[in-house]
Structures are given as C-alpha cells and as structure tokens.
C-alpha cells in the first residue's frame, strides 16, 4: 500500500496534474525587488476589477461566437470525460481543443458529469487575459464551486458548507474569513520559530536516511512534518503527543479522496475506475470514524480564545472547528504536500549556480539581522521570493477555478471578444493561463529570477491564490485567506534549505500524481 503522503498527492492529482515535463533554467542577476510582505492583515472590502471583462459597448476586439459545443445530453459529457481522463489526458484535452477551435476560449464539458454533476457545461478559459474574470465577484458567483461542477457531501464537513464553498455575498463568508484572519494574526509570531524547529528535524532525518541508503525520499517524512508544523504553529499542540499520534496524514488522505474522487484518476483500469469514482459519490460513512478523530483533536486544540472569537463573530464552536479542519488539512496541509516537492524539484534541477546565489543572499541577510530569520529579513531576499513565485506560477496547488456569470458579460482573450450569458459556467485551467506565452517569455521554463527587478511587474499575472499576487485577500473576495502564510512558509523552506546546504541533488519523477522528489546528495554549508 502506498504511503499516506504519496497517496495524498495521487488522490489530489486533478488539483495538480502534469502530463509534460518542464524545462528549468535561471537567468542573470537582476536588481533587488522591493515587493512587500504584509501577512495576516484584515483589509477593507474592495471589488476586484477584471482586466478581461468589458461591457459590450466598449469591446475593442472583434466579436466571435464561442466555439465548441456540449454534444448530445448525457452522451456529450461522458465522451468529454473519457477524453479528459483516458483518451487524451488532461493537458492534451485542452491543447487539442485550442488547436481545433483556434481559440483559448471554447465550450466543453468538465468531469465528472452524469450522474454526479447536474450540469457539466462550461466555457473554458486558457489564457492569461480571459482568466481573471473568474476572480471578479462583482460579475461572477463562486457559490458551491470550489471543487467544480459538483459539490461533495456536507457530511464530510460536519454538515456545514465550508468557507471555500461560500460566495462573498453570503454573510457567513464574512464571518468565517474574519475568523481565519484572527487565527493567522493571533499566531503569527509562532510561524517562523516553529518552522525552523520542525524542518530542522526533517532535514536531520533526511540526512540520516541518505547516509544509510544513499538516497532519501521527501514525501513520507515531509507529510508528517507538514502536519506537525501546522498543528504547532496554529494551535500550539504537537499532535504526536496526543491521541491522534501520527495518524493524521493517512486520515487526511482518505478524507480528501472522498471529496475529490469524481475528478481524479488513480491509474485503475477504466472499467473499474469509471463506475467507482466518476459515476456516483463515495459514501461519507467510509471516513466517519476517522474524521471524528480529527474533529476531537481540533476541538481540544482550539478551545479557548480562538473558539471564543468564533462565537463573538457569530459562528458556533462546532462550525468553527469544521472550518479549521478544512483550512488546516485540505487547504494548508494539502497545499504544502503538493507545493514543497514541486519547489524542491525545480530548485534542485536548476543547478549549482542558482543554489550559490540563494545561499549567498539568504546567509547575508540572516547575518545582517543578527543571525535570525525575521519577517523583515525575508523581504530583503528578492531571489528567494522569486523562486517561490515562479513555482506558484508554473505549478499552482489548485489549478482549476470555476465561477458562474451573474449577468450577461463580454470577456476577451488576446484575439477576440466573446459574449457570455447570465448563469453560464466559466472554467479556468490555471497552468495554461499562467504559462501564457503572450505574457511570459520562455513561459514553459522555470526561470528562478523571473520576478526580480522589472520582472516584479509580472506578479499581477501570478494567480495561484484565486486572485492576482499583487492584490490582498479580504472578506469581500475569494482570494485564499492564507495567501501570505503560504508565501511565507514557502520562503522559509528555501531559507532553511540554504542555511544548511551549499547545494543538493535530487531525482524528480513527474506524472499525473505530481512531483516525487528524492534527495541523492547534500553539500553542507561551507561559508
């Protein structure tokens, strides 16, 4: 049986599926970036204005009817599902239709279709200009669209619609997002020291394994470390010292699988996988007892000021705990287990020149800050910031975004304008939009210092957080509540790595399940 960590990545393959390898390079040094890190602040409500959406009267590009069709009822969605999962594969499914229609905007059906999704019809957006309409909540609705054209049973989340499924127009969205902002702000002083402690232990473990076996896989130790870190940073509790022990990764894997199964392929024969995963929702009872263990751990760990704040905001303690489970286990833990291997793989394969530049930058800044890693110091590391943003650009942890048009709209790609009718579903596949060659030079390559100096202007096209990197999450939008926290812990991984090592070597295996990273050498710090 696969390990819990590798299983989680496999079971989340639709949220990070890669069918083609990417080139990894770095460019020459650029001037220092001065982009601010403003973590964990609650910002006033503001509308996100999409540059891709215009009124019909002001459209400047030639109008074109959206190409493509949905096929016959029932038959069309099933055909597209077969093409998406088996006949073509995810990447070619989109590439082939771009070529067929000569357009990055077209109509298609997105899985799962019958019998799980009542309406799989979507308008697909695959370029960096049309994609941002998905974030403009004044024009589109995001209600119950987190996983796509279907919604998992609320029995998997205590009977509650979790924050990720709420539209900003719903009062509960405001309350729950403020609750998560409170968590992030109240615990922010623990994020850096707990990361150092947790990942020092991880790298020591990997070094021992490497010395013993000649190689060390990141996945297994990395998964447990990620959960331990989040539990200690958010709640001040070490899960291995509780009744939960080391079971969280395996429990989260099963729980996540039941939510994402309709949009996954896990390598089973088609005749087994189709009826098992893509035709009916798996019963929540399969994970009920395990989820109860998570609930008890989170309830006990968050009791006190945190849950008192939830009640003050109008959220019951029970609903608050279920949202904490989702934010910690699905969003944060799941994201770390996808993002960290990707980043280690990109940096590792980029080579020693990038490694030395990162080591020089990180050690110089830490030394100038009294030997400590600080928030202010992290802002003085432009190359470190850039490699994190470049990873988030190429391999966003959540590549699918959905929204429903609130009214008739006109959207634009680089060549045409298209009419969208009220109620139509919009779908964006971010890995294509974030590698738009009309926006990014060498768009398919990992360029470590892409976002330094003048390149910083391109951050508005980095969209991993359900919004542009240049904008702040707030209660009025659907941008990730932990956006700045994700950027922070990603930078901290790079910092910890190059405080310990001058360079390292990795083996990276790519596939539908994401990146599997194995360390084959570490060169300890020499300067």
Cα–Cα separations (whole angstroms), residue 258 to 122, 156, 182, 213? 24, 8, 29, 35
Residues 6 or more apart in contact with residue 391 via CB below 8 angstroms = 339, 342, 343, 346, 446, 490
Kindly state the DSSP code that residue 83 receives in the 8-state scheme.
I
Segments of 110-265 assigned E as strands: 121-125, 140-141, 216-217
DSSP 3-state of 498: helix
User: 27 Cβ partners below 8 Å, 6+ apart?
Assistant: 447, 448, 449, 450
Q: In the Cβ-directed half-sphere of 241, how many Cα atoms lie within 13 Å?
A: 7
Those residues with Cβ within 8 angstroms of residue 309's Cβ, 6 or more apart along the chain or in another chain = 179, 182, 186
Please tell me whether 480 is known to bind a ligand.
Answer: yes
The answer to whether 467 and 478 are in contact (CB under 8 A) is: yes
Residues 6+ apart with CB under 8 A from 100: none
d(CA 355, CA 329): 31
DSSP state for residue 67 in the 8-state scheme? P
Encoding tokens for residue 28? 């020459």
Please state, in angstroms and rounded to a whole number, the distance separating the CA atoms of residues 385 and 382.
5
Confirm if 497 and 158 have CB atoms less than 8 A apart. no
Structure tokens at 395: 């391999």
Neighbours of 368 (CB within 10 A): 10
Q: What is the CA radius of gyration of the chain?
A: 22
SS3 123: strand
Beta strands across the sheet bearing 501-511: 216-217, 514-524, 501-511
| Alpha-helical runs (H) found in 86-144 | 90-101
Residue 501, phi then psi, degrees to nearest 5 = -130, 145
Cross-sheet strand order for the sheet of 417-420: 53-54, 409-412, 417-420
For the record, the structure tokens of 350 come out as: 């980029």
Q: How far, in Å, CA of 267 to CA of 264, rounded?
A: 9
Between CA 93 and CA 147 the distance in angstroms is 19
Between the two ends of the chain, the Cα-to-Cα distance in Å is 43
**Cβ pair 486, 180 in contact under 8 A:** no
Among residues 468, 394, 490, 376, which one has the least CA distance to residue 434? 394
Q: Residue 429 is encoded by which pair of tokens?
A: 């596949």
Q: Give the residue ranges of the annotated binding site for heme.
A: 480
Residue numbers belonging to the annotated binding site = 480
């Amino acid at each position: 049986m696969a390990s819990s960590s590798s299983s989680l990545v496999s079971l989340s393959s639709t949220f990070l599926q890669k069918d083609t390898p990417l080139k990894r390079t770095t460019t020459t040094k650029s001037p220092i970036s001065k982009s601010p890190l403003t973590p964990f602040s609650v910002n006033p409500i503001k509308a996100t204005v999409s540059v891709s959406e215009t009124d019909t009267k002001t459209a400047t590009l030639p109008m074109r009817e959206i190409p493509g069709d949905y096929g016959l009822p029932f038959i069309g969605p099933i055909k597209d599902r077969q093409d998406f999962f088996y006949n073509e594969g995810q990447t070619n499914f989109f590439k082939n239709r771009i070529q067929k229609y000569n357009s990055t905007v077209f109509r298609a059906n997105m899985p799962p279709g019958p019998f799980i999704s009542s309406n799989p019809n979507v308008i697909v957006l695959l370029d960096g200009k049309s994609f941002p309409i998905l974030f403009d909540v004044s024009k589109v609705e995001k209600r119950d669209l987190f996983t796509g054209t279907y919604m998992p049973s609320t029995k998997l989340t205590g009977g509650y619609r979790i924050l990720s499924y709420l539209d900003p127009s719903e009062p509960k969205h405001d309350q729950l997002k403020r609750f998560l902002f409170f968590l992030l702000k109240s615990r922010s002083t623990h994020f850096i020291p707990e990361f150092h402690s947790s990942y020092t232990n991880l790298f020591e473990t990997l070094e021992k394994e490497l010395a013993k076996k000649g190689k060390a896989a990141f996945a297994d130790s990395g998964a447990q470390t990620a959960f331990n870190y989040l539990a200690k940073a958010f709640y001040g509790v070490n899960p291995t010292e509780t009744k939960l022990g080391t079971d969280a990764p395996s429990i989260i894997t099963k729980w996540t699988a039941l939510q994402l199964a309709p949009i996954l392929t896990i390598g089973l024969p088609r005749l087994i996988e189709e009826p098992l995963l893509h035709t009916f929702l798996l019963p929540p009872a399969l994970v009920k007892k395990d989820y109860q263990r998570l609930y008890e751990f989170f309830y006990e760990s968050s009791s006190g000021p945190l849950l008192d704040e939830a009640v003050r905001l109008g959220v019951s303690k029970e609903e608050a705990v279920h949202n904490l489970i989702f934010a910690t286990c699905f969003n944060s833990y799941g994201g770390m287990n996808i993002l960290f291997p990707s980043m280690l793989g990109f940096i590792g394969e980029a080579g020693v020149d990038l490694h030395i530049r990162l080591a020089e930058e990180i050690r110089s800044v830490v030394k100038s800050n009294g030997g400590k890693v600080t928030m202010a110091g992290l802002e003085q590391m432009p190359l470190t910031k850039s490699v994190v943003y470049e990873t988030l650009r190429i391999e966003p942890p959540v590549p699918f975004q959905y929204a429903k048009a609130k009214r008739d709209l006109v959207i634009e790609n680089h060549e045409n304008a298209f009419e969208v009718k009220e109620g139509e579903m919009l779908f964006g596949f971010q890995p294509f939009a974030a590698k738009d060659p009309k926006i990014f030079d060498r768009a398919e390559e990992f360029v470590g210092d892409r976002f330094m100096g003048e390149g910083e202007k391109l951050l508005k096209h980095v969209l991993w957080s359900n919004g542009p990197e240049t904008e702040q999450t707030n209660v009025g939008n659907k941008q990730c509540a932990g956006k700045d926290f994700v950027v922070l812990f990603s930078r901290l991984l790079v910092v910890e790595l190059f405080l310990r090592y001058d360079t390292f070597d990795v083996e990276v295996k790519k596939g539908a399940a994401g990146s599997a990273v194995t360390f084959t050498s570490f060169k300890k710090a020499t300067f």
